[in-house]
Structure 1
């Protein structure tokens, strides 16, 4: 793909204003740091000029964009209903309506106390006794952006706490609704983080606020019906490396405060029936030790289930062990599940008579049910799924004592399925499969696992999905290669209605599960962070080389895709191996990491030091980050086509990073491959809001990808 409209408009050229940065004896002259001030009219004008240029350069794709949008729309059952979830005497569900962008949250009454079979709701038909709890469309009216933060029902079902963000900066306004009367209470709390936790008697709510760095740092207790000025700060975390969260155990017996950095955690608990009491520490924080806590009743005794990665039998339990202890003496630990190098324990949920274990083995998620007996613990039983690639997880299971377990199952070719597992019999009841209109047939698509080999010999899992062609292609095929590789986040298989528009045009979708993610256990993460971060980039390059070497594709038919920290990956491989890619799509890309991580005044910087290292104090970290920072390593060479997309209100990856990156690329690179920057002027890190706007954004990206691959028709 070349710049076909180059004669019609000139690309914006950002002025150069030298800004000097000096650290550890090294001087870097940054010509585009002036773009950081989004209140500067000249900065806004530059971003708008880039937007106008991008629109002009992609104008020829407008018919294709509209066609893809209509394909997504036509395959989506716009008027739909979720499977109801029982909590107390109500079935809770969400529904969508054709032409409306946001879900409507509802409930209807349970027929009888022993009724655990969800009612079969018919899209477009209002169930008997339906009560609308919150209409996102009404809340979003008059706003360009809308996001729902908290949506929390009190245990007795009489009160709703919800919060909304209409700017995109992830600061929410918390409100309260009496569900018996429909009355919106006078209580209103601005500037909160997402989430709200009720006490058992719904007299109080615990919520979070953030500091100037957008870090959740303070837990507050609000008494319903009192002014915000009377709210009590029950916990404040001064250490900028730590984030704070608040919630409750599944039993709702305890309110819990979680405090965590990237490598250290601490949990505090409070009996929910004593909301004005003092939180107590379960286990004091120790540097490098992470743990989580759940409450279970085992043989009539309150016990804490503790997942941790402390030293066990002389070795650190990197993939975590499961222990338990009396709730009133949490230091008295006993190991329930030992450490395994091939299994990463991830979570445990407790119910009245069983536990549900979530873990990961062979790059796949797993679930096991562990029965509780009168004597204590029975034997765990893994739920088996006979598929090569899939994702499974526990769904919404709010009740402490229920005879079924709600599960979610999906894969690249399997639309999301919702099951109820009958615990007594083991029967798996399929309640719903995500509807895909337009004659979709999963047998026309296939998914498989392949393994690339990294430069150090490590085997890198690849997940591949394609439409099965009528005739097997005789030559190379177009590929969209996706990667992330940070924060131990796993890119698990999931179905996408929108992706069908690429697959049906012959594009194969490949996920490179590179190091820095969590697919293969904690070591996979540890070997793709701090001073091993470059493994993330070389793994992705190895994945691209594997696809070419096996004859599946050629560099001229590969587009790379990644967002946020995956955008850092995109910027790095653009510098390292531009010859391997025809195009690179970078969403809200973290492409100026060294500048950001050097500045502790920026949002989220200090907590990131455990992920990337601290270049401010450590010369080795500084030099290492400088060696891979996409912005600082732009060179005068041919780059592939690049589309960078960002949001002006993003608080996680500031818009200035891709803006500076594109400005420097435009001034430095050679060749005629197009370079585009698109800035959403009223959105945050997640991009635009509303399903129709999101579909149009996907259509914009897909049309660009197809154009790069020579398939824009």
Structure 2
């Protein structure tokens, strides 16, 4: 790679002072916030052209990487069928197809296949395409589904008569994808509409098939922009639920009997600051996963139908535990399944409803990811769950909750010369500067040398209580086979070690997240897993904020940084309520209108802390239509870095002009993006094939 092949783009400086709390920040690139401005598009295109020119010598390597990744994929592939009602539902891919076909068979897997949706046909002529979930009416005849052709996550709700194949005239724009709920009458459906400024779903409507959309009835409006909304049907199918949630602060479920679609949604328990809960219906009662009574890691309670509004009627089923986080639950007629988390690992607990006898499913690896999968059948004694690890491809199991026998239904096929025994994974622990032990999951190809001579890619997220568990990636084999190790740092801000792990990595404790990542890097170097000149760091979205922060704090630790759709202009974004999703984020980052939060956020906000100093090699990626982290955040960050950095290390930005937060659509297109990232690192390690 030669950065001198052409002059790097220089964004125009147009001073934009912003004063708050007696402090003035100067944003020289605020003008990049205008996607309609031709000068903005010209700048983004110039950055793309520069990246293409610098990376041109790696094109053969990128092509080889792409072909490797695609070559590991079984092109004719399908999911394990799930029985729901009278049908088995599954998705499958065809050879060369970018998008799935959604299919079903009636009564038996030997029955004739019915293709409900063919994503490849539907996506013809479109640069971006996504099906945002589907729901089928109780009589199994009408399919409700959402499609997005822009990548702003505004899904148009459409309907298909599965008996005739006809696409119905009803068409509802700007809905929340997948958040659809049918009533039992097979003609009434509930959906949520997104505000086009904030992109938050804030209104629930009722629609009757065949009637004008203009006559749809508004049944609920969420007035508080700090709450995110959800909508669905409970597994028992008795209730439709609408939920409002302020992450880490408060929850409110509202219930409507699905047999009474014109009725009113009634709160299960009214929102109360500090009280969070989720519910599952079972016969004449509800199970409640809640943090009531200072249950930081949540506990399980139950309450009879009709009594939920009286919290004194809630009865404890499983008490709070300091060392175990109650992650979720699944209810069956004869069994209760709990998903728990302790010591940065998932555990699945089975409880017999009649006898209260219980046991855990046994997993053998030291670091893995497991989870309860799709289980719509209430009557069955078979639990479907998923399992994977850094060296074990994604697998689906059927587990007999009575006999404890399990059947492997499918293991992800990895074509080519793949043998999972050629790879090793370990669980390590780094000691953070405050004495806390930070778990690390690491994978490498056997033969990896622990002498600091080999490269390593360190990944983390560390926000919203979202845990990054050890997962298999067939694409990642292209790095491991070329001598890289890959490590996931389970830093604070996630929830791997319980709810307190999250609480200690948000708001005025956010610096723990960045310090943890740096301390893990120093541990990996000290233990000779790699060295400073061979260590790379990667994170996306809020993990991109992590990349920006550690790059400012310790640029000397890393050979290169990969920052995907990075949230790097924290203060400016959190002050602008017109930007999508801002107000709902105040409980994660703080509201900078309050001076205490302003000062703290400014202390780590990547854009605000760029200085005239040496920076590592950097590749920054974004999408023009990103609805979660707007493209102008990384664009401003790169422009400022380019103006101030004092060395000649690479600084590249690639903007996908057709995609949003999730990148390119289609199962193969994304491999081009991964190939670019891998080629960036491999070339810096002088690995050219």
So what's the TM-score if we normalise by structure 2?
0.98
What is the correspondence of 1:172-183 to structure 2 with a 5 Å cutoff? Answer: 172-183=155-166
Q: CA deviation at 1:370?
A: 1.5
Paired residue secondary structure (1:217): strand
Are 1:201 and 2:178 counterparts? no
Residue 362 of structure 2 corresponds to which residue in structure 1?
Answer: 384
Alpha carbons 1:638, 1:670 under 8 Å: kept: yes
Residue in 2 that maps onto 1:310: 292
- Cα pair 1:251 1:351 within 8 Å, conserved: no
CA spacing shift, 1:538–1:474, aligned 2, 3 Å:
closer
The whole-number CA distance in structure 1 between the counterparts of 2:569 and 2:685 is 28
Any unmatched runs of 5+ in structure 1? 112-118, 120-126
1:370 — aligned with what?
A: 351
Partner of 2:224: 239
Q: Is the 8 A contact 2:451 2:528 kept in 1?
A: no
Matches of 2:177 and 2:421, distance apart in 1 = 40
Structure 1 residue 155, shift from structure 2 partner: 2.9
Q: Deviations 1:164-203 (Å, cap 9, x if unpaired)?
A: 0000111011111111111111111111111211122322
1:36-93 Cα offsets, whole Å, 9 max, x none, are 1010000000000000000000001100000011111111101111111111221111
Q: 1:98 aligns to what?
A: 95
Report the equivalent of 1:505.
482
Of stretches 388-397 and 482-491 in structure 1, the one that deviates more from structure 2 is 388-397
Secondary structure of the equivalent of 2:608? coil
Partner of 2:72: 75
Determine the structure 2 residue equivalent to 1:123: none
Q: May I ask how many residue pairs the two structures share in their alignment? A: 683
Give secondary structure in 1 for the equivalent of 2:562.
strand
Name the CA distance, whole Å, in 2 between partners of 1:505 and 1:459. 30
State how 1:132-531 maps to structure 2 within 5 Å: 132-195=115-178, 196-211=180-195, 212-262=197-247, 263-297=249-283, 302-311=284-293, 316-330=294-308, 331=310, 332-373=313-354, 378-469=356-447, 472=449, 474-531=451-508
Q: Comparing 222-231 with 637-646, which one deviates more in the overlay?
A: 222-231
**Post-superposition offset of 1:614:** 0.8
Q: Hey, what does 1:543 align to over in structure 2?
A: 520
Is the CA contact 1:530–1:613 (under 8 Å) kept in the aligned structure 2?
yes
> 2:298 touches 2:325 (CA, 8 Å); kept in 1?
yes
Q: How far apart, CA to CA, are the structure 1 residues paired with 2:601 and 2:551?
A: 16
Q: Is the 8 A contact 2:452 2:531 kept in 1?
A: no
Q: Secondary structure at the match of 1:213?
A: coil
Structure 2 match to 1:60: 57
* Contact residue 250 and residue 349 of structure 1 kept, 8 A: no
User: Residue 193 of structure 1: SS of its match in structure 2?
Assistant: strand
Q: Deviations over 1:461-489 (max 9, x none)?
A: 000000102x7465522000001100000
Equivalent pair of 1:88/1:156 in contact (CA under 8 Å) = no
How far, CA to CA, are the matches of 1:89 and 1:66 in structure 2? 46
Between the aligned partners of 2:688 and 2:466, the Cα distance in structure 1 is 33
Residue number among 598, 613, 637 corresponding to 1:622 in the alignment: 598
Could you say which residue in structure 2 is the equivalent of 1:116?
A: none
Residue 639 of structure 1 is aligned with which of 606, 615, 628?
615
> What displacement does 1:712 show?
2.9
Contact 2:621/2:653, CA 8 A, preserved across alignment: yes
C-alpha displacement of 1:411 = 0.6
Q: Does 1:576 align with 2:553?
A: yes
Match of residue 4 from structure 2: 7
User: 1:17 corresponds to which residue?
Assistant: 14
The CA deviation string for residues 250-282 of structure 1, in whole angstroms up to 9 with x for no partner, is 111111111111211100111111111111111
SS of 1:319's equivalent in the other structure is coil
8 A Cα contact 1:324 1:335, kept in partner: yes
Following superposition, the deviation at residue 7 of structure 1 comes to 3.1
Partner Cα distance (1:697, 1:446) in 2: 26
Give the Å deviation of 1:398. Answer: 1.2
Whole-angstrom CA distance in 2 between matches of 1:110 and 1:663:
59
Match of 2:534 in 1: 557
Cα pair 1:582 1:709 within 8 Å, conserved: no
Q: Aligned-pair distance for 1:24?
A: 0.4
Q: CA deviation at 1:555?
A: 0.6
Give the conservation status (yes or no) of the 8 Å contact 2:288–2:302. yes
**Cα displacement (A) at 1:6:** 3.3
Structure 2: give runs of 5+ residues left out of the alignment: none
The 1-side partners of 2:135 and 2:475 are apart by 30
* TM-score, with length taken from structure 1: 0.94
Residues 399-447 of structure 1 deviation map (CA, whole Å, 9 limit, x = unaligned): 1112311111111111111111123322101111111111211111011
Q: Distance in 2 between matches of 1:153 and 1:367?
A: 29
Aligned residue in 2 for 1:48: 45
Pairwise CA RMSD: 1.2
- How far the C-alpha of 1:153 sits from its partner, in A, is 1.8
CA distance in 2, matches of 1:707, 1:482: 19
Whether 2:18 is the aligned partner of 1:36: answer: no
Q: Distance in 1 between matches of 2:111 and 2:3?
A: 60
- CA displacement, residues 289-330 of structure 1 (integer Å, 9 cap, x when unaligned): 111111012xxxx1011111121xxxx111111100001101
Structure 2 Cα separation of the partners of residues 441 and 153 of structure 1: 40
For residues 532-576 of structure 1, give each alpha carbon's deviation from its aligned partner in whole angstroms, at most 9, with x where no partner exists.
000000000000000011122111001100000000000000000
Q: Secondary structure of the equivalent of 1:266?
A: strand
Alpha-carbon contact 2:297-2:325 (below 8 Å) kept:
yes
Secondary structure (helix, strand or coil) at the match of 2:185 reads: coil
